[in-house]
Amino acid sequence: VLLKIADRIEQNLEILAVTETWDNGKAVRETLNADVPLAADHFRYFAGCIRAQEGGAAEINELTTAYHFHEPLGVVGQIIPWNFPLLMAAWKLAPALAAGNCVVLKPAEQTPLSIMVFAELIADLLPAGVLNIVQGFGREAGEALATSKRIAKIAFTGSTPIGAHIMHCAAENIIPSTVELGGKSPNIFFEDIMNAEPQFIEKAAEGLVLAFFNQGEVCTCPSRALVQESIYDDFMKVVMKKIVKIKRGNPLDTDTMVGAQASEQQYDKILSYLKIAQEEGAELLTGGAAERLEGDLSTGYYIQPTLLKGHNKMRVFQ
């Protein structure tokens, strides 16, 4: 079944990719080449895990043998974030289904569409009731799922405060929980990188520019960079050359590299941090404001790729 789901995803690659872009605002080049293909890969991977899984037996003594059986938990609850709606769903769905569980999945209220299209595409591959999708706001639907006595395990990807609350709910019901929470990943660049081959320096700079991948909406994005002072000027010249080449625009254009923020809330939050940073004295190297596009895109939640120079006491750094 998992292999059939993977096949179905690939057969509908363009439909799912465009839907994901409409839903989230990310560039379709990412959904076509990363998000959706990786979702299919996850279902194939866990299909392979099933074949690799073996039971175990141990001889306690000449009269006693212990057998180890892997059994499904039952019904698992899953709460998905808005930055990678389909891919994060695949991360949780594939192993849960591989282990024989039923799933109640709540997508983020900001991105409710693509998971529904996905569920419709695979509806004939799963028995009724195995995959259940509950739409709603976290305070109502997510809370109900996390506190339900009928859930055998809860899995969550999202912010650290909400993750702590999910773990508390799971502890009260004495059920296992898996949480993947926010990050603020720093990249550290020491002076010896400038002694390497030019290709290595280019790759190091690309690593920093990945801060703008998926509009920066990735918990492992290098949103902070610590650059050794002795190489700062030379290294940042390489970085800046790459940033100015980032094409912004219509997310459905396959040449667009950075699309729109996922929601007005996220858009406003980013702009507020940019304002705070400059008020605290951060030096604006590039960007720093909303992206003013024309036509139908004029009201979209677009923000310029921004690079700030400051110190680790600044709120935007922390």
Q: Looking at residue 24, what is its pLDDT?
A: 94
CATH 3.40.605.10 fits 2-53+72-181, yes or no: yes
Give the chain as a DSSP string.
-HHHHHHHHHHTHHHHHHHHHHHH---HHHIIIIIHHHHHHHHHHHHHHHHH---EEEEEETTEEEEE-----SEEEEE--SSSHHHHHHHHHHHHHHTT-EEEEE--TT--HHHHHHHHHTGGGS-TTSEEE--S-IIIIIHHHHH-TT-SEEEEEE-HHHHHHHHHHHHHHT--EEEEE----EEEE-GGGGGS-HHHHHHHHHHHHGGGGGGG--TTS--EEEE-GGGHHHHHHHHHHHHTT--BS-TTSTT-SB---S-HHHHHHHHHHHHHHHHTT-EEEE--SB----GGGTTS--B---EEE--TTSTTT-
Active site annotation includes 219: yes
Among 143, 180, 191, 280, the active-site one is 180
Residue pLDDT tens, the chain, 318 long: 999 999 999 999 999 999 999 999 999 999 999 999 999 999 999 999 988 877 788 889 988 999 888 889 999 999 999 999 999 999 999 999 999 999 999 999 999 999 999 999 999 999 999 999 999 988 888 889 989 999 999 999 998 899 999 999 999 999 999 999 877 778 999 999 999 999 999 999 999 999 899 888 887 778 899 999 999 999 999 999 999 999 999 999 999 999 999 999 999 999 999 999 999 999 999 999 999 999 999 999 999 999 999 998 999 888
The set of long-range contacts for 301-305, using a CB threshold of 8 Å and a minimum separation of 24, is 301/25, 301/260, 301/261, 301/262, 301/263, 301/264, 301/266, 301/267, 302/248, 302/259, 302/260, 302/261, 303/215, 303/261, 303/267, 303/270, 303/271, 304/248, 305/212, 305/243, 305/246, 305/248, 305/258
Q: Looking at residue 233, what is its pLDDT?
A: 95
Q: Looking at residue 69, what is its pLDDT?
A: 81
Q: With contact defined as beta carbons under 8 Å apart, do 259 and 216 qualify?
A: no
Q: Where are the domains of the chain?
A: 2-53+72-181, 183-245, 255-318
Q: With contact defined as beta carbons under 8 Å apart, do 26 and 81 qualify?
A: no
Cα separations in angstroms, 297 against 111, 230, 250, 257: 19, 42, 7, 15
Active site annotation includes 180: yes
Q: Looking at residue 182, what is its pLDDT?
A: 79
Site of tokens 């074949």: 51
Rounded to two decimals, the pTM is 0.89
Distance CA 287, CA 267 (A): 14
Q: What is the pLDDT of residues 2-16, one digit of tens each?
A: 999 999 999 999 999
Among 49, 109, 202, 219, the active-site one is 219
The residue type of 33 is N
